[in-house]
A and B are shown apart, each in its own frame.
Chain A
Amino acid sequence: MPTRRRALLILAALAGLSQLSIALALMVGSIPISPLDVLATLVDNGGGVAGEVVRSLRLPRALTGFACGGLLALAGALLQVLLRNPLADPYVLGISGGAGIGALLAIILGLGVAGVNGLAFTGALGAMLLVFGLAHGEGGWTHSRLLLTGVIVAAGCGAVVTLMLAVAPEDRLRGMLFWLMGDLSQTGDPQLVLILLALVLLVSLPFARELNLLARGADVAQALGVAVRPLRRGVYLVASLATAAAVTHAGAIGFIGLIVPHLVRLATGNDQRLLLPASVLAGGSLLVIADTLARTMLAPQQLPVGVLTALIGVPVFLFLLSRGAPCRG
């Protein structure tokens, strides 16, 4: 069990990593900018073209990426506890599927970024309410029932998404595919999503020790003094909203929500008081780094960042699985 001191040290190290990843994102690109110049453009708003690039292109994109990565990792960590399954990820309950239907519909209809975001969020909420309503039958929900309902709703959404891709006009297909793979190139103001990330973390942290108990089973947690029913609903709601916000801003970026909590758990243990904030920092950093790679590797061609997180995520995950440590179904 980590002590508070050890937890703070680990978090401080991860915060340093986050800053490095954002600094890297600000420096690297079609116009390389030195660290000192980056600092100068941020401090005194100067720097000409370089300053414009940093302030209005790279910084909003990096911050949005960080916030989305953090939200996805946090949602993944929460859902892994809620479903008592280390293999759960934020999309397992169909939220990204719902968002996908909304976003693709908006793209087919030719709506702008605001329309895409609005419909994606509506779709995410719709899927979330549907799963919650269906899983919450008589006698409350068990985690296996919730998981099954989510998986089935996600499969249904996947079918609708495929159908939309099949009937969509050619010129819209590229945008639709990028959205589905996760893409940060269309980001706007990062303020909202950063505030959301802070809010979600602030709401979750006070319940972190209760989540430790919930991970050991609902009855055990209840017997040890956790009000399980409201806690489970709260976790579901918070994780869903976090996922919806991230998916709305950046599309269905995969693997962050699965891999990051897993890696952090392997490195520091399964104490949510440390795991939740550490996942936020690590998830944010990972997505910022992946996005920086996505826009520079084949520049000027931009890759959807979801491809990179998956390319990084799949081998890491297979490696973890083959080590066979804590991944029991």
Chain B
Amino acid sequence: MDHTTPLLTTRGLRVGIADRTFCRDLELRLQAGESLAILGRNGAGKSTLLSVLAGLREAQAGEVLIDGATYARLGARRSARVRGWLPQSRSEAFSSTVLETALVGRHPHLARWDWESEGDARKARQALAAVGLAELAQRDVQTLSGGERQRLAIATLLTQAPRLYLLDEPLAHLDLNHQIATLELFAALGRERQIASVMVLHEPGLAARFCSRALLLFDDGTTQQGSCDEVISTASLSRLYGYPLREVGDGAQRWFMPA
């Protein structure tokens, strides 16, 4: 495994806004098939870090490599064939159908004068089916509920078919059923297609169950990372959230509740 290029590497990464630093000297290496959960309090810089990892925002120091190359070297188009990004929120200014919205994921795969082919439409429909939106393909996106919009955003990402998924709160607005379905979807992609994923989560139990590794962003700008078994514990989480937590479990799964 060590011979393959990691899908995501950071070297000496410092991320912050103005004079506030969220993390410094961050060294990440994420191989194909791995998944990393980012945990932290509100305002700890999870989304900012994720958008730096996605190449949408400049780091204060250090560099981000996807598949061994910087975003600058790859350019926007080739980058989009390697990594996909799920925004925390999105708004649609114009109406369009659900299918049209999922189809925009094909953009980085199409040449300048290409129109979306039947094959592209099939990929989009498969993606919609994977998130349970197949029946809504012709609906106007502006009429969707919050959870449906979130699943549509995930379907757009699946249509894009990158190898590295950067997911900012993928479970936002989703009911319990769809939360687990979404996490299982990305876990299956990791097993079967060797994708790597980074996801911002608020539920340490789900992180421990579905991710191989975790990164904790503490309020003071320090970080802790490692396998979920090492990093996710009552001690570290109580420090992370500033509230005492208690672990309950049945041996197979672990859950953390406010004490």
Contacts and interface: CB of A to CB of B under 8 A. Distances in A.
A36 interface: no
Interface size class of B (residues with CB under 8 A): 35 or more
Binding site of A, secondary structure by majority: helix, strand, loop or mixed?
Answer: loop
Contacts of A35: none
Interface string B31-50: 00000000000000000000
B103 A325 contact: no
Given A206-B112, A325-B95, A227 B103 contact: no
B209 interface: no
A223 B88 CA distance: 13
Interface size class of A (residues with CB under 8 A): 20 to 34
A227 B75 contact: yes
A3 interface: yes
B54 interface: yes
Nearest to A230: B76
Interface string A310-329: 00000000000000011010
B180 interface: no
Contacts, number: 81
Interface stretch (A97-105, A116-124, A265-273): A265-273
B112 A1 contact: no
B51 interface: yes
Interface in B56-97: 56, 75-81, 83-85, 87, 90-97
A223 B110 CA distance: 15
Contact of B80 (A84, A223, A265): A223
Given A209-B110, A225-B108, A4 B115 contact: yes
Nearest to B75: A227
B222 interface: no
A215 B115 contact: no
Contact of A270 (B95, B110, B160): B95
A215 to B, nearest CB: 6
A222 B83 CA distance: 11
Contacts of B51: 219
Contact of A86 (B55, B93, B121): B93
Contacts of B91: 217
B95 A273 contact: no
Interface in A1-39: 1, 3-4
Contact of B56 (A213, A223, A273): A223
B94 A265 contact: yes
A85 B93 contact: yes
A325 to B, nearest CB: 7
A326 B142 contact: yes
B100 interface: yes
B103 to A, nearest CB: 6
12 contacts: A1-B97, A1-B99, A3-B115, A86-B93, A206-B112, A219-B87, A220-B90, A223-B54, A223-B80, A225-B108, A227-B77, A328-B142
Given A217-B87, A219-B56, 7 more contacts: A1-B121, A209-B107, A209-B110, A209-B112, A223-B85, A326-B94, A326-B95
Interface of A: 1, 3-4, 84-86, 206, 209-210, 212-213, 215-217, 219-220, 222-228, 265, 269-271, 273, 325-326, 328
